[in-house]
Structure 1
Amino acid sequence: MQIISLFLAAAISIGTIVYGYRAMKNGKKGNIKKAILTTVSAFMLVMAGVVIATIFGGNVLAETAAPAAEAATASGSSLGEGLKYLAAALATGIATIATGMAVGSVGSSAIGAISEDPSLLGKTLIFVGMAEGISIYGMIISILILFV
């Protein structure tokens, strides 16, 4: 079931790329926020199904799952270990997305300010660097989650 869901998520992603390429090639105009929201909603719905099926689903292939379960218990991995890695990935991922949004707005404002007064270059670089610090904080939190 999980494999089918992952293939479905990949098909949604690839279909979105192909549709977007064709729309750009044909000069189609539309609401970009609505298109992104539709695609992200479908993708998240499929991924939520994968997570729920993974957590609550039974073993589809019981005879091949038994050696894997024995190996997992022998190595000491558990649901807590998996959630720890998931939390670290979310901390880094969300911090990186926030950094992209912050650098996008601060950077465009900095370019506008520099075009009017070139002596402001040093001050604007400080603001852009502060925005990039968000991703460093996310990475530090991820390291703390993994090793503490």
Structure 2
Amino acid sequence: MLNIIELLIPMVLIVLISLPLIKVFRGKISGQSAKTRLISHIVMFFVVIVGSVIFSAGDLSVLAAEETATAANGIMGTNAQGLGFISAALATGMSALGAGIAVAAAAPAAIGAFSENEKNFGKSLIFVALGEGVAIYGLLISILIINKL
């Protein structure tokens, strides 16, 4: 069971990271300042992740004893399985994000080309479908990762 300190520290860190972005969302700062804030917050996010991994790695003997006790009951998987599920989720999520960006750029151009000349429909549809294919490839990779677990 987690004690109150182990619950409070990540919540405080998340609040400290997201608090300065309120001005960005309200539109009170310039674009360059927003860009530097965003980059610094992305760096802080990864620092918090690495710090939490290092912080949680302190009591490995306790985790190993608990893992062997619950693994006999079939309740909990290994750390490798957990990282496998995280990698499958990242493969699907990031590929869908990339496909969204690709379709956001290709679809308006395809609509514009189609409105000027109706013969461009097939060519423009291919470019939109290529952007959608990125999401399908990410989903395929995540299915292959989960099958290996």
TM-score normalised by length of structure 2 = 0.72
Which residue in the other structure is 1:33 paired with?
A: 35
Moved more, 78-87 or 111-120: 111-120
Question: Are 1:100 and 2:100 matched, yes or no?
Answer: yes
Unaligned segments of structure 1, at least 5 residues: none
CA deviations on 1:12-39 (whole Å, 9 max, x unpaired) are 46425522233x1x4x323143232122
Which residue in the other structure is 2:14 paired with?
A: 10
1:113-132 paired onto structure 2 within 5 Å:
113-132=113-132
Q: Which has the higher contact order (CA 8 A, sep 6+)?
A: 1
- In the alignment of these two chains, the number of paired residues is 140
Q: Which one-letter code corresponds to 2:41 in the other structure?
A: T
1:1-148 paired onto structure 2 within 5 Å:
3-12=7-16, 14-22=18-26, 24=27, 26=28, 28-31=29-32, 32-54=34-56, 56-58=57-59, 68-69=66-67, 70-75=69-74, 77-148=77-148
Q: Give the CA deviation at 1:106.
A: 1.9
Helix, strand or coil at the partner of 1:74: coil
CA deviations on 1:48-79 (whole Å, 9 max, x unpaired) are 2223333x2317xx6xx799532245326112
CA deviations on 1:64-121 (whole Å, 9 max, x unpaired) are x799532245326112211211221221122122212222222243234234334423
Query: Whole-Å Cα distance in 2 between the matches of residues 123 and 9 of structure 1?
Result: 49
Distance 1:33 1:120, change over 3 A: farther
Q: Which one-letter code corresponds to 2:82 in the other structure?
A: G
Q: Which one-letter code corresponds to 2:100 in the other structure?
A: G
Q: Which one-letter code corresponds to 2:79 in the other structure?
A: L
Pairwise CA RMSD: 2.9
Q: Is the 8 A contact 1:12 1:39 kept in 2?
A: no
Q: Which one-letter code corresponds to 2:84 in the other structure?
A: K
